[in-house]
A and B are shown apart, each in its own frame.
Chain A
Amino acid sequence: MSKTTWVCIGTGGVGKTTVSAALAVTLARGGQRTLVATVDPARRLGDTLGLDRLVGPTAVPGHPGLQALAPDSSAGARALIEHLLVMAPSHRERIGGNALVAALTGGFAGMHELVALAELARVEPSFDVTVIDAAPSRHAIDVLALPARLAEVIDGRAIQWLGELARASLAPGRGFGARLLQTARHWIVRALASSIGSRPINDALGLLAFAADVRPQLSTWIAGASQLLAPARARIALVTTARHGAVDDVEQLVAQLAEVGHRPALVIVNRVPGPCPRVLADHPGLPASWREHVARAADELDVARAAARAIVARATMWGVPVIEIPSFPTHDPVAIVGDVANALSRGPWFHGGAETRPSAQNRLATR
């Protein structure tokens, strides 16, 4: 069986975390060893599965074959640096006193996705399928594009140039000729040091020199993350809700996905209410004081259902499988996950529908 990564994306508050958990439950029920993970520092994945801590892959009670993970970015970043220091021990002293490294590994929000992806790439080989609960909207797209942007630095000439700059600046005891060749670089470093300070510049240079020396390891790590999110392997579940304006959100996300070479494999319309035909408002048994409220309910439910229909029509036009999840009259996240999982497993996408990959995706994958 080929490996799959499902990435759930959507705007905030549409129920991405719930849908991610439910999707994972559904896949695990189908007999696949499933890992569900969040790459957003704020996500409440544990709450949806009734779990407290998700630092390492944690078995989800009641769901054989399902494990959940919410990587701890501080611990993960420190472990990563430690792992890299074993490869380049000469940097240990300088990295140990490096304020930039300390700040980056001390729970820096921007490091979270990097570390989460590294952790995922490390543990995912023991699973058949990984479900990623991504950060809201624009940021989710950034996560998808992250490995490529990192690769631009690490695999290209950039890291070599930066590494040489760092080495030359940190060890200036070279001959006059070598110094002359470095004039441009020294000029840049001097200009920065005079307006920012020499300590931050030295810390940055120390980190760059270190990164240049462990480039092969970083490269392998990025390749792992790349593979996890490559268009050939990742399936995007675009999550939305049945409300006015949702069609615009969906179209915008699809356009943003296209920019990074992805297209949705599944559209999930969450919280689609049932119809409330006017016969109820007109029913003689209804208390007279309720008529106005029921009529308002019917109007509002119509707006939501029309939004859901519009999204279904778009998805159908794009040739993307779409599934509607009803809204449930409860607020309990664990109960909703069970209900959503049941709704998902009834969809045709689950029974082979999503296995057929549209040809456009293959074309984009070769980009």
Chain B
Amino acid sequence: MQGVLDVFLQTFTLVPLVLAIYISYEVMKITDLTVEGSFVLGAAVYARLIIEAINPVLTFFIAILAGLMAGIVVGCIQRHDKIDSLIAGILMIFMLYSINLQIMGSPNLTTYNHETMLTYISYAFADNAGFIFAAFYTLFCIVMVSILLNIQLGLRIRAYGDNKHLLYRLGCNPEKYRIIGLAFSNALAAGSGALTCQIYGFTDINMGFGIALTAIAAWLLGVQTMRKMFRFKNFSVKIDCMACLLGALLYYSAVTFLLKIGVNPINLKLLIGLLLVVLLKIMSNKKRKPWEINS
């Protein structure tokens, strides 16, 4: 039972990040790797301010705000596509590495003995405070993303990903939607980082290493599975959010399964890679000929 709860806990901490990747990668069609930096940024800001004994709720909010700022900065760097989004993201990761070290003051910080939001929750639910908080926060993120993509602002962000030029001709400024979208995406990533720090009680400068790829893998895994299950053709926020949740769950189930059967942790990533390849192969449409258009 505890094992299952752990898998869900890990899933919930990753889901906001998968949603961040979903917004930049799928909705806006921007390859934005900045989330890898802003994930650590959120955790760093959170840990630092908790150690400074600032109100945990406020701290969490500030951590998310820091991610938002990172998103705005990367949006400005990419402005008018003068710098490719991939390069802009990589440069941002470099810069954020130094910034994160400055914020943290040391390569890692622990928040075990300090008062966090979990301390409040544990008064009511002693055992599973982390789990409950993570579940609520994930739900909150999913609701926020659903609301965002259902209002006119969200429609325009989607339109940005589809056809910037036409958006410009309709009298909207595409750069505005790029910045709003990236800010939202990076805020989600920072929230995920802060949540991770809160639950595991520590922050490490390298905790974001490869996390963007993990999130992309989880998103692809989720969306492939959902497509297989529902055969949906139109855009649907609900199904996409479900895909994020399912993808993260499948990913961590695979990790836990491999560790449970006694795989050497050194080979873990190799085996996860292989397992995901097999999983995606099984789920892909076998009858489809390679020259047919995938639909």
Do A and B form a real pair?
A: no
Partner-B contacts on A (CB < 8 A): none
